[in-house]
Amino acid sequence: MEVLDGILKEELNRLNKLKKEYEDKLKKLPKGSLIKKEIKKNIYYYLNYRDGKKSVFKYLGKLDKEEISRIKNNIDERRKLRNLYIHTRENIKKLKKMSNEK
C-alpha cells in the first residue's frame, strides 16, 4: 500500500507543478476574442474579454496581417492551455480523493 501512496503523491506533485506552469503561461497570453470594426471605411481592432460581469473592449488600433495572425494564434493557444489547465485541476481533485488528502 505504501508503494501506491508514493505513486499517488508523486503524480499529485507532478500535476501541481503542471498546473502552476499552465497558470503562468495563461497570465502571459491575451484572453477574449479579436473583434474587427469598420468605422468610416477604416478598420480597427479590439480585444473583447470579460472582467467579472463587465464586457471590456480594449482598443488595439489598426493592425497589419502579421499582428492579427500573431494575436489570433495567442488567443487559440490560450484556449488550448485553458482546457489543459481545467483537465489538470480535475485530475488533482481525483488524486486528492484517492490519497485522502485535503
87: Cα separation from own chain's centroid? 12
pTM for this structure?
A: 0.79
Biggest CA-to-CA distance, the chain: 71
What pLDDT, in 10s, does the model give residues 34-66?
Answer: 999 999 999 999 999 999 999 999 999 888 899
Of 79, 76, 93, 71, the C-alpha closest to 22 is: 79
pLDDT of residue 3: 82
* pLDDT tens digit sequence for 58-94: 999 888 899 999 999 999 999 999 999 999 999 999 9
